[in-house]
Amino acid sequence: MDFQELNNDQRRAMVNSQQRFQALRDAKEAYNAHRGSLTWAESKGRQYLVRSYYNKAGVRKQASLGARSPETEKMKADFEAKRAAAEDRLKNLRDTLDRQAAVNRALGLGRVPLLGARIMRALDGFGILGSGIRILETNAIYGYEASSGVRLDPGLATTEDLDLLFDARGGLTFVAGDDVSESSLMKILKRVDTSFERAKQTFRAVNRDGYLVDLIKPMQSPPWKKAPDKIGLDPEDLAAVQIEGLDWLQNAPAFEAVAIDEKGEPVRIVAPDPRVWATHKLWLSRRPDREALRRQRDAAQAGAVGALVVNYLTHLPFDTEQLRMLPKEVLDSAAPLFAKKDSPARA
């Protein structure tokens, strides 16, 4: 398996992008802590300091912080000063990342297809990426690549769809902003691209260009046990379809990475552990009920990600205890994927 390693300039730009992106996320968290407003409201001839905000369900709330006094006046002044500082820091970091994106484009670092990246950012913005939704299939490869500092053959990573693994075991909570709160996957997709519509298959959305987004989940066990198949309560939302073998990916440790999209901008990807991902792909490649072309691509992707793990993601050993969510026979059959071979890198 041949990989193309990033050169020194590309590595430096990748590290800078990832560090600045984390600083931006921290700044957003600080800014969000000061969203809403503190205003004076009069009641029965007295003024009270009132905090207006949206709760996690997107419902506007108000809370009194006490009658007007030197303490509440200071509280209001401190709040507004911290909010202004957080807003200024957020703007500066966004400007810095805009400049970094131009560098990334010049260095050819962009990998993640733009529409897929925009969808992942939207999911992240609403707080459900990695907290109920994971990125599956080919788009996960971009995260594995970014963490390894290499590129795979474009033919293995190119994709015109996005598969989302739905895990509602812990419940999903949307992060509500001051302007809007979405409660369904379809609404989020339409915010990214208004042409998205739910297909006849109710687990799938498709836009005008034929880009597909599928919502999938593991087979229910036991079959009669009911579990949510939608992110929200919207009856027109996507309903996840059950697929065999996804429980391994659902129970796998999460793998988080920051990759670069086609415009040079960073995007957070949360996918299953690459060892489990590669093993699942190998299992798919050997299923007789799967189309031959898909089996061949599955096998090639399994081999590529397995080689990434062995040669670059060396903190992830082929350890049976860490991979106990996999059936023993499946794990044993995947062992050759993770056997150490000669260095695969090329210039």
Domain ranges across the chain: 1-109, 111-272, 274-347
**73: amino acid identity, one letter:** E
| Predicted local confidence at residue 162, as pLDDT | 92
The mean per-residue pLDDT over the stretch 94-102 comes to: 96
Q: Which of 73-82, 228-237, 261-270 has the highest mean pLDDT?
A: 261-270
Q: Above 80 in pLDDT, residue 345?
A: no
pLDDT over 90 at 180, yes or no: no
| Residue in the structure block whose two tokens are 């503190």 | 38
Q: Please say whether the dihedral angle defined by the alpha carbons of residues 159, 162, 163 and 165, taken in this order, is positive or negative.
A: positive
Q: Enumerate the H helices of 242-315 as residue ranges.
A: 246-251, 274-285, 292-311
> Would the pLDDT of 68 be above 80?
yes
Residues 112-134, mean pLDDT to the nearest whole number = 93
CA distances from 47 to 38, 39, 63, 72, 334 (A): 12, 10, 14, 11, 69
Q: What is the pLDDT of residue 167?
A: 83
Mean pLDDT computed over 25-31: 90
Total-model pTM: 0.86
Region 46-64 average pLDDT: 78
Task: Please compute the mean of the pLDDT values over residues 172-194 and round it to a whole number.
Answer: 69
Residue whose pair of structure tokens reads 């996804």 in the numeric block? 246
Question: What would the pLDDT profile of 211-249 be if each residue is shown by its tens digit?
Answer: 999 999 998 776 656 767 887 778 889 999 999 999 999
Average pLDDT for the chain: 88
* Model pLDDT, residue 55: 61
pLDDT band at 185 (very low <50, low <70, confident <90, very high): very high
Cα separation of the two ends of the chain: 13
Output the pLDDT for position 169: 67
**179 pLDDT exceeds 50?**
no
Residues 119 and 189: beta-carbon distance below 8 Å: yes
- Taking a C-beta distance cutoff of 8 angstroms, is the pair 233, 267 a contact? no
pLDDT of residue 35: 79
pLDDT at 102 over 80: yes
Q: Which of 26, 143, 174 is nearest to 89 (CA)?
A: 26
Residue 20 has pLDDT above 90, yes or no: yes
How confident is the model at residue 346, as a pLDDT?
54
The residue ranking higher by pLDDT, 165 or 341, is: 165
Tokens coding 67: 């009658």
CB 168 within 8 A of CB 218: no
Tell me the percentage of the chain whose pLDDT exceeds 90: 68
Please give the full DSSP string across 118-183, using - where no structure is assigned: HHHHHHHHTT-BTTTEEE-HHHHHHHHHHHHTEE--HHHH--SEEEEEE--TT---PPP-SS----
